Amino acid sequence: MAEGQWSPGRKEADADEFRPVLDIVEPARQRRLTVLLRLLLLIPHFIVLFFLHIAAFFTVIV
């Protein structure tokens, strides 16, 4: 393999490399009601974005 290409194997120089310990917590299970409420809260956001898109369209034309 030519020098400078990626190799999936470990090299001897990697033995001294610091490897951090990851402590990742799994996300808690969400209730269907809270997911539904979040989706309902997106509706006004999309309405505002729709009108902003229309305003930006006419601003670019002018």
Query: What pLDDT does 18 receive?
Result: 79
pLDDT in tens, 2-52: 556 666 666 665 667 778 888 888 888 888 899 999 999 999 999 999 999
pTM of the model: 0.49
Query: What pLDDT does 42 receive?
Result: 96
What is residue 31's three-state secondary structure?
coil
Query: What pLDDT does 28 receive?
Result: 87
What is residue 62's three-state secondary structure?
coil
Count other C-beta atoms under 10 Å from residue 53's C-beta.
Answer: 9
Query: What pLDDT does 21 receive?
Result: 86
Q: Which residues of 20-51 are buried (b: 16+ CB within 10 A; e: fewer)?
A: eeeeeeeeeeeeeeeeeeeeeeeeeeeeeeee
Are 25 and 19 in contact by the 8 Å Cβ rule? The answer is no
